[in-house]
Structure formats: structure tokens, C-alpha cells
Amino acid sequence: MKILITGGLGFIGSHTAVELQKEGFDVVIIDDLSNSSEKVLEGITAITGKKPIFEKMDLRDKKSVEDFFGKHNDITGVIHFAASKAVGESVENPLLYYENNISALVYLLQQLQKKEKAQFIFSSSCTVYGQAEKMPITEDAPVQQAMSPYGNTKQIGEEIISDVAKVSGINAILLRYFNPVGAHESVEIGELPLGVPQNLIPFITQTAIGLREQLSVFGDDYPTPDGTAIRDYIHVVDLAKAHVTALKRLIDSKNTDKVEVFNLGTGKGNSVLEVVKAFEKVSGKPLNYKIVGRREGDITEAYADTTKANDVLGWKAELTLEDALASAWKWEQKIRS
Ligand code: UD1
């Protein structure tokens, strides 16, 4: 069966392409290369021995999307990763985010709703919960007013999909990721942030390799045991496997609602300082860091209640934070060598 992965050369998309191929699916990738590289195709191929079909395409071009589905009219399964994801940039340039993340989604769904039956997996984020009142966060926790246009595109995206699923043959699963980190154990693929990384783990590995002088730890006055903020860091390979499980659930019509929502995390929260300590342990290197003020818009803590993903989806994170940090470090060393 042929599956379309949009944004399939990106961080989570490329790891998902590998897991899908391993399960025998034929993978077609669309990517505009705005935040990725065609070299990632070689990485995927090196791992699986099979080169995915690749089309460079900007999903904001409605005609291209139409032509694509005309050409590949046997595709009914789509995993939609293609989106912009920098919170700060979205505040500076909201229309870029609404166009990239919303228009593209609409054009894809327009093609899929022509089909009798289609399966759609959407990359959502735990950002939809804002600062949830209760930890761990269940899927029933209220969606809160988004704090950025980026966050808003994830909420609006979920709503658009739900509205369209009601009146079409589309069945969808919305996957709300916590903090995806790590790299494939082969280090053929991993995270490739453009410019200065905004996220914690790539900033740590770039500091350790000497590309950045020092990690700024944003705030040590949070109401947490060590004062630094807590997140649920999930290994990207575990996350990728969850997409395959979700897709199979839709293909086998095992879903109980036209649109289902699952949190994807480990269920365990770690503070920034715990991550730093764990990194020092797995790399054997002390990390140069300094406590600075809080980053605007950051929440105190977020970690997933994984009961629904475990029991209903039948998926569980298997790799640890240490596994993720070790692979991220191995990857950083490889790409700088
Ligand atoms: C961030 C986004 C979130 C998005 C997610 C996707 C913000 C405010 N949030 O989540 O909307 O869905 O990325 O990738 O940008 N930290 C440091 N020093 C650093 C970098 C991070 O101390 O140099 C801390 C942060 O304050 C936070 C934790 O590390 O407590 C994780 O940060 P990050 O990796 O950026 O993820 P989120 O902020 O959770």
C-alpha cells in the first residue's frame, strides 16, 4: 500500500518513512526542502535499502496538490507533517504560518475528500493544552487559547480535520506530540535545525561539540523540584512507530470515532537540569551552561498521561531519555565530522 508522507524529509517525517517502509508500505514523500535536505533521502535509503519516491513540492500550490493526487490516484493514506514550527517566527510572521500550516492542509483534504475512504494522520502538539491544570495531561484536558500563531494553527488544523471527517470518507487520528528528541540508532538520519536551535536537545549537542559557547537554561524559579521547567522528552523512533500503529488502526477500520486523539509521550517529566545531567552522563562531557531568565511563553510543566495511547492505540514508548540523548549526541558528532 502506498502512503504519502508530507514533510517526509523532516525530523519526524524521515524517521516515520523508515518505520513505514520496514512494515512493508510504499512511501511517497512530498517536501518543499524549506527546512530539510534532499540528502535525507539517502539516509532513509541507507537504513531500509529502499528509496522512497520523492517529489519536491510546495503544498501551498493548490494546482500541484491536485496534479499530485491525479498522478498518484491510488493514495488514500496520508501522514501530514509538513508545517512550520518556530514559535517566535510565527509571532513575527503569522500569515506565513496560516498559509503554510492551514492552506496546505485544506488543499490536501480537498483531494482526500473526493475519495470513498481515506486515512489521515495529523501532527498535532501538546501545545494545544497550554499550561494544563493537572499533570499528567490526558486527552480530555481542555484545549486552551493558543499562545502563538503556531499553536493556533495546530488547534485550527485539528478543528478543520474534525469538520471535514464528519462529511466525508476521511477517518483521522490527531497525534499530540510532547517533545520529540533523539536520532535513528544508525545515525543515518536525525534532527537538522536551521541556524541557532530553539529547542533544548539540539542546543545541548551543539554546545557540547563546540558550535555554541554555552547553553542558557531558561529560568530556575519555576515551581518544580529543582526550579527548572519540566517536559516529556520522547524518542523520535518511538514517535515514528506510533504513526505506523495509528495508520494501521485506520486502515483496518479499528477506530471507534471518525476522529481520534492520542497523546504521544513517555509519561515521564524531566526538568531542564535533569536533561543536562543525563546528557553529561551519556556523553561523558561536562556541559557549559548558565541559568538565565525565563523564556517568554514557556510553561512550567507538561508531561503526558499515556493510558489512552497504551490501551486504545496499543503503543508504548520503549526508549529512554538516555537512549535519546546518546543517539542525539552520536548524530551531532557524525554530522560535524
Ligand atoms: C517548543 C515550543 C512548542 C513547540 C515545540 C516543538 C516554545 C515556547 N515552545 O516547546 O510550542 O510545539 O517546541 O518543537 O518555543 N530550554 C532552555 N534553553 C534552551 C532551549 C530550551 O532552557 O536553549 C528549555 C525551555 O525553556 C523548556 C525546555 O528547555 O523548558 C524545552 O524547550 P524546547 O525544546 O524549546 O521545547 P518546548 O519549549 O517545550
pLDDT of residue 56: 98
Residue 174, domain member (yes or no) = yes
Residue 177, domain member (yes or no) = yes
Residue 122, domain member (yes or no) = yes
Is 129 annotated as catalytic?
no
Residues lining ligand 1, judged by CB closer than 6 Å?
Answer: 85, 87, 125, 127, 151, 179, 198-200, 203, 215-218, 229, 231, 272, 295, 297-298
pLDDT of residue 105: 98
pLDDT of residue 212: 98
Query: What's the CATH number where 53 sits?
Result: 3.40.50.720
Q: What's the rounded Cα separation, in Å, for the pair 38 and 10?
A: 10
pLDDT of residue 68: 98
Give per-10-residue mean pLDDT for the chain (337 aa). 98 98 98 96 98 98 98 97 95 97 98 98 98 98 96 98 98 98 98 95 98 98 98 98 98 98 98 98 98 96 98 98 98 96
Number of domains in the chain: 1
Residues ≥6 apart with Cβ < 8 Å to 313: 242, 245, 246, 249, 262
pLDDT of residue 260: 98
- Indicate which residue of 150, 177, 222, 233 is catalytic: 150
Residue 218, domain member (yes or no) = no
> Measuring from atom 2 of ligand 1, which residue has the nearest CA?
87
Q: Are 204 and 270 in contact (CB under 8 A)?
A: no
pLDDT of residue 17: 98
Q: Are 87 and 150 in contact (CB under 8 A)?
A: yes
**What separation in Å is there between the alpha carbon of 206 and the centre of ligand 1?**
16
Residue 97, domain member (yes or no) = yes
pLDDT of residue 135: 98
Residues ≥6 apart with Cβ < 8 Å to 116: 169
- To test the ligand 1 pocket, which listed residue (218, 221, 266, 294) has its Cβ within 8 A of the most ligand atoms? 218
Residue 188, domain member (yes or no) = no
**What separation in Å is there between the alpha carbon of 31 and the centre of ligand 1?**
24
Q: What's the rounded Cα separation, in Å, for the pair 311 and 294?
A: 37
**What separation in Å is there between the alpha carbon of 179 and the centre of ligand 1?**
8
Residue 207, domain member (yes or no) = no
**What separation in Å is there between the alpha carbon of 198 and the centre of ligand 1?**
7
pLDDT of residue 18: 98
Q: Domain residues for 256?
A: 2-181+234-265
Residue 272, domain member (yes or no) = no
